[in-house]
Each structure stands twice: as C-alpha cells, then as structure tokens.
Amino acid sequence: MSTQTNTSRLAVMNFLNEVAGDFPDAISLASGRPAEAFFDLERWLDSIPQYQREFASRRDLSYADAGRLLAQYGRTNGIVNELIAEQLALDEGVHGRSEHIVVSAGCQEALALCMLSLCQDKNDVVIARDPTYIGMTGVADLHGIEIVPLHSKDDSQLAAELEEVAEKLRHQGKRARALYLIPEFDNPTGTVLSLEAREALLSVCAGQRIAVLEDNPYGMFRYEGERLPTLYALDRAGCVIYLFTYSKTLCPAVRVGGALVPDTLFGSAEAARTLVANLGERKSFLTVNTSQLNQALIGGMLLAQQGTLRELIAPQLEHYRRNRDLLLAALEKEFADQRDAVHWNRPEGGFFLTMKLPFSFGQAEVLRCAREQHVIPMPLSFFSLSGTCQDSIRLAFSNVEPSLIGEGVARLGQFVRQCQEVCDAAV
Ligand SMILES: Cc1ncc(COP(=O)(O)O)c(C=O)c1O
C-alpha cells in the first residue's frame, strides 16, 4: 500500500478501503455507512408485489404482464416519481412536481447528471464549502469541472464570500454555475446551515443566477432541536435542485435516489422543463434507466408505509442517536484533561462529527493509528478542496457497534497522547 502523504482526491476512498482491509480487526470510525442491523431484505422484497399490483391496476394490465414490464427496460426518468414526490412532501416539506423528478442510481448519479448538465462549458465552475463531500469532488475531478472553495467556517460570512467569489470568477471570464451544499448534518462536518445563512445564500444565488445543488441524505436523521426548512422550500426564485436518496432511509444497495428540479428555473418554466429533459437525455446514455425492480421495491415500501418513511426509520434514528450519545460521552471522558487542545462538535443529527487535534493527522497517521491502536478515523483533509483541515478528523458513529465506541475512543485517546508527547518533545 502506498504511504504517500499527499493523497489525490480520487484515491482517497481506495486508500481507506485498503486500510480497512489490511486491519480487519480495527474499530472503524471512518466508514459513514448506514447501520446494517436495520436492513430487512425479506420484508423489502415482499413489498415488490404490492407495487406490481398498483402498477398493473394503473396501466390496466394483468399482474403477470405488469411483472414482465417491470423486468424490462423502462422510462428513463423513473416510474415511482409520484410516490417519491408524495414522500418528499410528507417527510421533508419538499413540495415538487413528480414530472420534475429524475430517478437515478442513488443520489450520486443525480449529482453527476446535474453537474454535467449545468457545467457544459470549460469556463463553468461549481462552488462548494471547504471541506466537502468526496462524491461531489470526485465527479468534478473526473470530468474536469473546476471547483472553487468557500472557506468561511462562520455561516454568517458565507453569502458575502459567495458574492465575492462569483464576482472574481466573472472577471476571469468564468461562470459560477452551481453551489453545492449539504445543509443538514453535512458530510464531513456534521453541521447544520443556519436559517439566516440559507436565506442569504439563496438571495445571492437568485441574483447571480447560480443554481443550488441541495444534497440531503441525512435530513431525516435529526435527533434533537428544531427542523429547519430546506433550501428547496425557502427558494422563491427557482434556483434549488433538490437531491434525495433512499440509501440511508432504506439501504445503499437499492441504488435509488434522484433530483427534483424546481417548477421554474430562475423564473422560467420552459428552462426547468429543458433541464429535466437534459438530465434525462444524459441519463439515457449513462445508465439507460434506474432498475425498475429496485424502484418497485421503493414503490412497494412507500405504498406499505402510506407514503412516509418516518415510522420505518424510527428504530434506526434511535440507534444513531444512542451511538452519537455514546461517542460524545466517550470523548468527554477520554479527553477530559485536554479540553483546551482537543475540540469537537455536537451534531444534532446525521452520521458524523469532527474533531480538531493539536497536530496534523493525515494518511501516515491513519496507518499508524490503525496499526498501533487498531482504530481508524478519517482525516478531514481528505475532504479538503485546498489542502486545509490538516489537524482535524471525521468520526462516523452510524455503523459502529455501540459496545465498541468506548473502546475505539480510548484507543484514539491513546494515539493522540502518543502523538502529543512526540510533538512536545520536539519543541
Ligand atoms: C452527502 C452525500 N451525498 C451523496 C451520497 C451518495 O448517496 P447515494 O448512495 O444515494 O449515491 C452520500 C453518501 O454517503 C453522501 O454522504
């Protein structure tokens, strides 16, 4: 395995998989996967016939013919769009048109389709907070799309920074085409974008005609505090494209997610319809259509749950909340005497928190931490757009055994103390 310290963004996921593979007994606080304990394949597969019956009755087909049609190639933009529109409205307060939904192979495909549709010229640029989700930077890197970072840690500065960045880009002959945001329990930071920042950013985007890609895989997993309206719900100008997924509420293997385009794009219904058509056109040559069997599973579950997934995810939510609390309690205990040097945030939901350490924690440190202490955290610098966050790590608490959280943090504490002793000795 390579031990270089400058990991290219595209190599990061590979590196982490290798570390996890090389140290199978290590406790992983790196993987942000949903908890497998709640995967209920038999029940989900059993829901497919319910959708098949609905599909048959809507199209005036026999049950058997409906099954044959579901097993065929299908409509590029999806077949469960109405059920998805209903669920987004009920669960997330996102009211959109089902015809403006493009169902995709997870949210990842929707993200790629949107970025490619919005950034067609070499001078078209995407703006994102630094650090940000690797899946977005990966799409941009693969397709040669430039990403310009917003550095403000303080929400209240973001809109002014965005305005400044857009202006600077204009002077360079470039165009800020999209702003990528994860407003709810951000991956990697675990933070929530304030209501004021949401409104201020929307106002800049409306004025500058910058589309917002609102990625919201964790919004359903709020453990405490008041839910904020999505950017999509706050948008009056028609600039927000809402990205959704069933990877966390159901499971990643179903590979169903998508994009919801606003009724009008910057005031134009025609432009919104054109974007939907453009996304579909690209999709038809990328994945043809999203598996209809997988869509039937989602459709069946949505029918069985009367349109809302809130009740279904309640046990998961409780598990994640408990894991978060266990992690916070373990951190309090382990780092009690280092509170002035080690800092972390308390996420109100989602799968992650971040920790700031008094030294650099990069690829070499992950390897040492895995080898010597058998625990794997994720360097935050892996998510950075500009080489920042060298002294921070992301801790994921979603898919770690509750009984291992205390031990994992104790081992991390041990590693941090070792590193600090080395730093202190060097001073
Ligand atoms: C912020 C964010 N967006 C998108 C995705 C990808 O989701 P999907 O499985 O729907 O492709 C993830 C997965 O972890 C994520 O954290």
Q: What is the pLDDT of residue 1?
A: 33
Find the 217 Cα to ligand 1 centroid distance in Å.
Answer: 6
Task: Judge if the beta carbon of residue 350 lies within 6 A of ligand 1.
Answer: no
- Cα separation of 70 and 212, whole Å? 34
**CATH of span 9-30+311-426:** 3.90.1150.10
Whole-number Å distance between alpha carbons of 15 and 137: 16
Angle formed at CA 297 by CA 292 and CA 299, multiple of 5 degrees:
85
Largest CA distance in the chain: 78
* Sign, CA torsion 408/410/412/418: negative
Ligand 1, atom 7: nearest CA belongs to which residue?
Answer: 107
Q: 21 CA to middle of ligand 1, Å? A: 22
Confirm if 77 and 103 have CB atoms less than 8 A apart.
yes
As given in the structure block, the two tokens for residue 85 are 């529109």
pLDDT computed for residue 4 by the predictor = 33
Inter-axis angle of helices 292-304 and 63-70, nearest 10 = 130
Q: Is 401 helix (H, G, I), strand (E, B) or coil?
A: coil
Q: DSSP label at 184?
A: S
pLDDT per residue as tens digits for the range 61-82: 999 999 999 999 999 999 999 9
Q: What is the identity of the amino acid at 43?
A: R
Q: Where are the domains of the chain?
A: 9-30+311-426, 44-304
The predicted structure's pLDDT at residue 422: 83
Secondary structure (3-state) at 67:
helix
Rounded to the nearest angstrom, the distance between the alpha carbon of 420 and the centre of ligand 1 is: 34
Q: Does the beta carbon of 257 lie inside 6 Å of ligand 1?
A: yes
DSSP 71-93: TS---TT-S-HHHHHHHHHHHH-
Ligand 1, pocket-test mutation among 136, 187, 378, most atoms within 8 A of CB: 187
Provide CB contacts within 8 A for 394, sequence distance 6+: 30, 32, 188, 189, 190, 352, 353, 354, 377, 378, 379, 380, 383
Pocket test for ligand 1, best of 133, 320, 378 (most atoms within 8 A of CB): 133
- C-alpha 186/C-alpha 132 separation (Å) is 8
Residue 215: CB within 6 Å of ligand 1? yes
CA dist 107 and 89 (Å) reads 18
How far apart are alpha carbons 426 and 413 in whole angstroms? 20
Helix runs in 348-401, H state only: 363-368
- Report how far residue 370's alpha carbon sits from residue 133's, in angstroms, rounded to the nearest whole number: 23
pLDDT of residue 261: 98
Residue found by looking up tokens 């408990």 in the block: 322
| CB neighbourhood size of 179 (10 A) | 28
**C-beta of 373 in contact with ligand 1 (< 6 A):** no
8 A C-beta contact, residue 366 and residue 116: no
Which stretches of the chain score pLDDT less than 50? 1-7
Ligand 1 atom with least separation from CA of 110: 11
Query: Which residues are bridge partners to 349 per DSSP?
Result: 222
44-304 in CATH: which number?
3.40.640.10
Q: Outline where 175-268 has alpha helix (H).
A: 195-208, 231-234
Burial 42-68 (b: 16+ CB within 10 A, else e): eebeebbebbbebbbeeeeeeeeebbe
User: Residue 19: its pLDDT value, please?
Assistant: 87
d(CA 110, CA 245): 9
Cα of 135 vs centre of ligand 1, distance in Å, is 7
Beta strand segments in 256-312, E: 257-260
Say if ligand 1 is within 6 A of residue 182 CB.
yes
Contact of 382 with 187, CB cutoff 8 Å? no
Q: How far apart are the first and last CA of the chain?
A: 32
Distance CA 26, CA 375 (A): 5
In the reported structure, the alpha carbon of residue 107 is separated from the centroid of ligand 1 by a whole-number distance in angstroms of: 6
What is d(CA 221, CA 349) in angstroms, rounded to the nearest whole number? 5
Q: What is the pLDDT of residue 343?
A: 97
